[in-house]
Amino acid sequence: MSDKKITSLKVDRDTCIGAAPCVATASNVFELDDEQKAVIKLKSGEKTSDRVSKIDLQDETITDETLLAAAQSCPVRAIYLYDEEGNQIFPA
């Protein structure tokens, strides 16, 4: 991974197939909703697949390494990671 810090992330619901290794890798961040799509858990209590800031995550102490591992675990590459300039870090 580059030295860029992850500052936001999203799930592409159209691509997500609910395979759930992201949940296994980062269960504090991801879970499946009732449509079997991954959603991101926020400290507000909301859950969304939309792009959110890392600082708004329920688990804001999650490491970039774990987020990247979760994104890499997705068989259909439905998890997108962005740096502070909004550039896409993953999928590269």
- Number of Cβ within 10 Å of residue 16's Cβ equals 24
Task: Give least dist CB 25 to ligand SF4, A.
Answer: 8
- Residues 12-31, interacting with ligand SF4 (CB under 6 A): 16-22
Spatial distance between the Cα atoms of 30 and 25, rounded to a whole number of angstroms: 9
| Binding of residue 62 to ligand SF4 (CB under 6 A) | no
Minimum Å gap between C-beta 12 and ligand SF4 is 8
Nearer to ligand SF4, 58 or 85 (CB): 58
Instruction: Please report, for residues 22, 25, 36, 90, the alpha-carbon distance to residue 6 in angstroms, rounded to integers and kept in the order given.
Output: 16, 17, 25, 10
* Token output for 83: 């740096």
List contacts with ligand SF4 (CB under 6 A): 11, 16-22, 38, 73-74, 76, 78-79
